[in-house]
Chains A and B, each alone.
Chain A
Amino acid sequence: NAGVTQTPKFRVLKTGQSMTLLCAQDMNHEYMYWYRQDPGMGLRLIHYSVGEGTTAKGEVPDGYNVSRLKKQNFLLGLESAAPSQTSVYFCASSYSIRGYEQYFGPGTRLTVT
Chain B
Amino acid sequence: ILNVEQSPQSLHVQEGDSTNFTCSFPSSNFYALHWYRWETAKSPEALFVMTLNGDEKKKGRISATLNTKEGYSYLYIKGSQPEDSATYLCASKGLLAKAAGNKLTFGGGTRVLVKP
Name A's B-contacting residues (CB within 8 A).
4, 31, 33, 35, 40-45, 48-50, 56, 58-59, 90, 94, 96, 99-107
B46 to A101, Cβ gap below 8 A? yes
Contact of A44 among B32, B42, B106, B109 (CB under 8 A): B106
For B, the interface residue count at a CB cutoff of 8 angstroms equals: 24
B43 to A101, Cβ gap below 8 A? no
A102 to B106, Cβ gap below 8 A? no
Closest Cβ neighbor of A39 among chain B residues? B108
Tell me, in angstroms, the Cα distance from A4 to B101 when the chains sit together.
18
Name B's A-contacting residues (CB within 8 A).
2, 4, 9, 32, 34, 42-46, 49, 89, 91, 93, 100-109
B2 to A42, Cβ gap below 8 A? yes
Chain B residues near A4 (CB, 8 Å)? Answer: 43
Smallest beta-carbon distance B23→chain A, Å: 11
Closest Cβ neighbor of B100 among chain A residues? A56
A56 to B101, Cβ gap below 8 A? yes
Supposing A42-B89, A42-B108, A43-B89 touch, asked if A31 and B43 sit within 8 A by C-beta, the answer is: no
Ranked 5 nearest A-B pairs via Cβ: A101-B46, A104-B43, A42-B106, A43-B106, A42-B108
Chain B interface main SS type: loop
A90 to B43, Cβ gap below 8 A? yes
Chain B residues near A107 (CB, 8 Å)? Answer: 43
Chain A residues near B34 (CB, 8 Å)? Answer: 100-102
Chain A residues near B104 (CB, 8 Å)? Answer: 45, 102
B32 to A100, Cβ gap below 8 A? yes
B103 to A48, Cβ gap below 8 A? yes
Chain A residues near B43 (CB, 8 Å)? Answer: 4, 90, 104-107
Smallest beta-carbon distance B57→chain A, Å: 12
Residue among B42, B49, B104, B108 having the largest count of chain A Cβ atoms under 10 Å: B104
Chain A residues near B49 (CB, 8 Å)? Answer: 99-101
